[in-house]
């Protein structure tokens, strides 16, 4: 999955639904925002498949937001429990993740995560982004800004807003770079080393699920090196935000996590116990297409950094 300078908050009671494309041969379908969408219409008997949902909500922010979904056949999901660690930031202890106290991690990282609002021909998309530089370079998902009409709006954790242009995007890697206009004094995120991740270690996800900015969730790395282009069992997959037929969906090797990731978290930060960004939240696995069931995917930050360098030249 994706204006006037409107602030996030309750919107009008209506939402925009993207048009159906009868020429599509693959099973991309709308996934309603679990928090704010009206009750779904009766559905046919569910088949034994699962859904990979880009974690961005389309439609009016906070009202009837929808995201794209791709049917995939995912096998068993290994997981492990972590021992938990205590971290130190700026000489002060960061919460012991074994006890579930991640308040210091959240306090460190939240100022470096923004909400991204995008206007498209079908309505509004809402996602998240990670600040890379003090002058406003921002990392997000390509599907967050797909079909953006003009500039996008970013909102800092303190509510301050900027207009931002799309510098460039790599749709296969699902990475995009934004540049906030006339920005200064922003708080860059501390980027970690995703090559050192181990299954079972504690992580924290921060973003704007359903337009609820500064939302923090926690969990563990439940698996590594998930190849998303293999999850569909060989089916052709399309980006849920593309309006162009025959375009394949993103293809990257992902971090799998049980930290709750929902639509609107796309482009947000997955961080370790020290508050270092080790992944960019991008998708969730959901059989019912109604919200996170504990399997989400993030792009390793080492891979994301390489794509950013290619985009900005």
Tell me if residue 104 falls in helix, strand or coil: helix
Residue 16 a catalytic site member: no
Alpha carbon distance 60, 122 (integer Å): 10
Residue 174 a catalytic site member: yes
Assess contact for 267 and 144: CB atoms under 8 A: yes
* Cβ contacts of 233 within 8 Å, gap of 6 or more: 72, 73
Residue tagged active-site, from 54, 222, 266, 289: 266
List strand residue ranges (DSSP E) for the chain, in order.
29-32, 50-54, 57-58, 66-72, 87-89, 92-94, 113-120, 123-131, 137-140, 152-155, 161-170, 175-180, 202-207, 215-227, 253-257, 269-271, 277-285, 296-300
Residue tagged active-site, from 143, 170, 222, 232: 143
Alpha carbon distance 302, 79 (integer Å): 22
Q: Residue 154 is encoded by which pair of tokens?
A: 């970013």
Residue 21 a catalytic site member: no
Alpha carbon distance 193, 97 (integer Å): 19
Q: Residue 48 is encoded by which pair of tokens?
A: 């034994």
> What element of type H or E holds 311?
helix 301-312
Residue tagged active-site, from 147, 174, 258, 272: 174
Alpha carbon distance 286, 295 (integer Å): 8
> For residue 228, is it left (φ>0), alpha (ψ between -120 and 50) or beta?
alpha
Q: Residue 87 is encoded by which pair of tokens?
A: 């971290």
Alpha carbon distance 102, 107 (integer Å): 9
- Which of 99, 92, 89 has its CA nearest to residue 275? 89
Assess contact for 32 and 192: CB atoms under 8 A: no
Known catalytic residues?
143, 174, 266
């Amino acid at each position: 999955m994706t204006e006037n300078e409107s602030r996030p908050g309750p919107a009008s009671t209506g939402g925009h639904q993207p048009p159906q494309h009868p020429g599509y041969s693959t099973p991309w379908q709308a996934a309603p925002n679990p928090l704010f969408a009206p009750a779904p219409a009766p559905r046919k008997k569910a088949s034994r498949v699962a859904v990979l949902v880009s974690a961005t909500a389309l439609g009016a922010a906070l009202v009837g937001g929808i995201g794209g979904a791709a049917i995939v056949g995912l096998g068993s999901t290994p997981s492990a429990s972590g021992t938990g660690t205590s971290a130190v930031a700026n000489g002060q202890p960061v919460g012991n993740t074994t006890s579930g106290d991640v308040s210091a991690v959240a306090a460190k990282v939240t100022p470096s995560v923004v909400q991204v609002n995008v206007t498209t021909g079908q309505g509004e998309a809402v996602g998240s982004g990670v600040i890379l530089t003090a002058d406003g370079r921002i990392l997000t998902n390509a599907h967050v800004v797909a079909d953006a009409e003009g500039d996008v709006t970013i909102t800092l954790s303190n509510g301050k807003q900027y207009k931002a242009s799309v510098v460039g995007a790599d749709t296969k890697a699902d990475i995009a770079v934004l540049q906030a206009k006339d920005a200064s004094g922003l708080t860059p995120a501390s980027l970690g080393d995703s090559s050192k991740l181990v299954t079972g270690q504690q992580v924290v996800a921060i973003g704007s699920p359903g337009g609820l900015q500064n939302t923090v969730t926690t969990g563990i790395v439940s698996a590594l090196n998930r190849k998303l282009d293999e999850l569909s069992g060989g089916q052709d997959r399309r980006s849920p935000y593309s309006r162009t037929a025959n375009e394949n969906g993103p293809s990257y090797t992902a971090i799998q996590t049980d930290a709750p990731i929902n639509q609107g978290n796309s482009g947000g930060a997955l961080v370790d116990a020290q508050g270092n960004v080790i992944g960019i939240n991008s998708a969730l696995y959901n059989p019912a297409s109604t919200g996170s069931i504990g399997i989400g995917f993030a792009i390793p930050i080492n891979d994301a950094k390489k794509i950013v360098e290619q985009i900005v030249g």
